[in-house]
Amino acid sequence: MRPFLTVYGHVCLDQIMSLDRFPEPNTSVDILEKHRYFGGTGANIATVAASLGVPTALCSFVGPDLPPDFRCFMEERGVDLSGVETVEGYETSTVLLVTDSQENQVAFVYQGPMRDMGSFPMNTTAARDSRFVHISTGRPEHYLPLMEECRRLEKDLSFDPAQEIHHIWDRDTFRRALPLADRFFCNRNELRTALDYMGTNSPEELLRDVSTIINTRGGDGSLVFTGRGTWAVPAVRPTRVVDPTGAGDAFRAGFYAGQYYGHGLLESVAYGSATASFVLEARGSVTNIPTWEMVEDRAEPVLSRLPG
Ligand SMILES: Nc1ncnc2c1ncn2[C@@H]1O[C@H](COP(=O)(O)OP(=O)(O)OP(=O)(O)O)[C@@H](O)[C@H]1O
Ligand SMILES: [Mg+2]
């Protein structure tokens, strides 16, 4: 099936651990609890989008150790993995997230093959046939030429560097990337860094380079900036907030599902809010994935309050 959406980003194993207190150098401590979750922005967005019925392809680089159950998990939900390249000599990207009893957190990030993706060839096979291309985490050396190619292919392109905007991208690379995109996704902190890179205080000024900005603001919902105006779309209340990780990725998946089912910009953002609300209710980024019908039900009250 032709993909509607092609997502570029990480496929990552999240190892979540808790301990009493962080060890001093040259000492050891017992891990009290340890869980492995499937993660990575690329895998999260693609898996949730495919689960909502959107024909979705994923492009990423992994090691030969990618667990077969992770691959199956994505495939069973319909993600086209033909653009996921196995690179010998690396292990799959891994994040070790460690929390102590005071709720302090430290993270250890192993990029795996994604660190060197600048020297790997780009794969545009799925992107060519897609309506939307979504560029999430990964290296500018790989993504800038890819974004130029998507531009040449006249693809509708979203740029979403996520937390990597702060340390993987910089003023120069960000300024080159933004005008290549049609849409920029960011959370509160990411917007602040984007404004800093562009040397302005006003999101509206970024609209000189990109036609739409979708700025998520946690429980406060999201702001949508376009040349036609700025709108606030409320969040959808989850029954309870158990774990915020993956909310942003689920939001994006819900947005594309809205587009896939023929809805407008603000409606699609509302579907994003509704999708995120489910993922907040369980630990992990791809647990508690709703069906499209469940998303439609939860989005209903927000849709009825949207402007015009
Ligand atoms: N506490 C919350 N209550 C309701 N909705 C929420 C809450 N937190 C997040 N969301 C939903 O998820 C969307 C994305 O959240 P947020 O802006 O925190 O993204 P993020 O910081 O990128 O998250 P992530 O941790 O997944 O990277 C929000 O726009 C909102 O719709
Ligand atoms: Mg995020």
CATH number at residue 173: 3.40.1190.20
Ligand closest to the CA atom of residue 187: 1
pLDDT given at position 274: 98
Element (DSSP H or E) covering residue 184: strand 183-186
Is there a domain that residue 253 lies in? yes
Is there a domain that residue 155 lies in? yes
Strand bridging mode 222-226 / 212-216:
antiparallel
Is there a domain that residue 286 lies in? yes
Is there a domain that residue 27 lies in? yes
Q: Within 13 A of 275's CA, how many CA atoms are on the CB side?
A: 33
Distance CA 61, CA 87 (A): 7
Angle formed at CA 15 by CA 12 and CA 17, multiple of 5 degrees? 160
If you take atom 27 of ligand 1, which residue's CA is the nearest one? 248
Which parts of the chain register pLDDT below 50?
none
Pocket of ligand 1 (CB under 6 A): 187, 216-219, 221-222, 235, 238, 241, 244-249, 251, 273, 276-277, 280
Structural domain total, the chain: 1
Q: What separation in Å is there between the alpha carbon of 30 and the centre of ligand 2?
A: 30
Pocket test for ligand 1, best of 277, 279, 283, 288 (most atoms within 8 A of CB): 277
Is there a domain that residue 171 lies in? yes
Write down the pTM of the prediction.
0.97
pLDDT given at position 308: 67
Distance CA 60, CA 11 (A): 7
Is there a domain that residue 308 lies in? no
pLDDT given at position 307: 81
Q: Percent of the chain at pLDDT above 90?
A: 96
Is there a domain that residue 157 lies in? yes
